[in-house]
Amino acid sequence: MNRHLKVLVVVAHPDEAEEYAAGTLSLLADRGHHVKVLSTTNGDAGHYTLAPDDLVRRRLAEAYRAAEAIGLADYEVWDEHDGDMVDTQELRQRMLRVIRQWRTDLVLTFTDEGPGHNDNRLAAKLVRSVVGLTSLPNPCRDIPPLAERPAVLRMIDYGSVDRHRHDVAVDITPVLDRKLDACAAHASQFLEFAPAQRDLVAPDAADRAAVDAFILTHWSEYFETPAGAVPALQRAYGDAAGGIRYAESFEIAPYGRALTVAEADALLHG
């Protein structure tokens, strides 16, 4: 692939792009592609001791540190309350505007179906609702339409692990340290909120070796190669696929620009 892509990653909370796709995003950025993360809520519910306003400021600062680790071109966080997001025409129009303003070629997001966090499903639903309008001239007339609809690939999240289809997989071993850096930047989540939820004893944030080991142990399903991703890795990496310990995988969404598996491979590996 010769031209640089405009990639938009749509999640519901700051830290999710890092948790589920930071390796792939780092590799895309290294190849000169322009990667933006959009969080549709500000994450103000995700803590037991910090007040909402303080938590929003904390999480924004964490997101910007993570962006540096990955090499993102932009990180946008909407001021929508965590857990309160609903599917409205206003938010659909806002999503349409972001996709068109970014001149998006590829969207990475969640599945909008099934169990899991309601905000995650709704963030993906907003994408699904408007992606067919992105190339039409009449909606959102103050922003030029895209030449064609973006392609859409769907990430794993905790609510879709059992139903995710591993259409495309990426070896993230070369950038494992950057995914760990990006996750560790979100200390309010990985070292405070999630451990409190799961009754875990988190290490001192200053002990990076211990932090990395803690994240790799307790979020292993989003780092280590899923068994179902092996065929996709073999297609992309050949005989070397058997030795790939860390990988991220994506499924082709049934909306957006139609993609073959080979075309999806070219988007993530080209």
| CB 130, CB 84: distance < 8 Å | no
Q: Quote the number of domains for the chain.
A: 1
> How many residues in the chain?
270
- pLDDT at residue 3 greater than cutoff 90: no
What is the token pair recorded at 249? 């995988």
Task: With respect to residue 142, please indicate whether it lies within any of the assigned structural domains.
Answer: yes
**pLDDT tens profile 69-98:** 999 999 999 999 999 999 999 999 999 999
- Indicate the average pLDDT of the chain: 96
- pLDDT at residue 1 greater than cutoff 60: no
Q: Could you tell me how many helices (H) and strands (E) the chain has, helices first?
A: 10, 7
Coil/strand/helix, residue 152: strand
What is the token pair recorded at 69? 């680790």
Range of the domain at 120: 6-269
> In percent, how much of the chain has pLDDT > 70?
99
Task: With respect to residue 198, please indicate whether it lies within any of the assigned structural domains.
Answer: yes
End-to-end CA distance of the chain: 5
Mean pLDDT along residues 136-155? 97
Task: With respect to residue 1, please indicate whether it lies within any of the assigned structural domains.
Answer: no
**pLDDT tens profile 177-228:** 999 999 999 999 999 999 999 999 999 999 999 999 999 999 999 999 999 9
Mean pLDDT along residues 126-146? 97
How many whole angstroms separate alpha carbon 39 and alpha carbon 21? 14
| CB 105, CB 6: distance < 8 Å | yes
**The pairing of beta strand 6-11 with beta strand 34-39:** parallel
| CB 39, CB 11: distance < 8 Å | yes
Task: With respect to residue 233, please indicate whether it lies within any of the assigned structural domains.
Answer: yes
pTM of the predicted structure, to 2 decimals: 0.97
Task: With respect to residue 217, please indicate whether it lies within any of the assigned structural domains.
Answer: yes
Which comes out higher in pLDDT, residue 30 or 163? 30
CATH value at residue 251: 3.40.50.10320
Residues contacting residue 106 through CB under 8 Å, at least 6 positions apart = 5, 6, 7, 8, 150, 151, 152, 153, 267
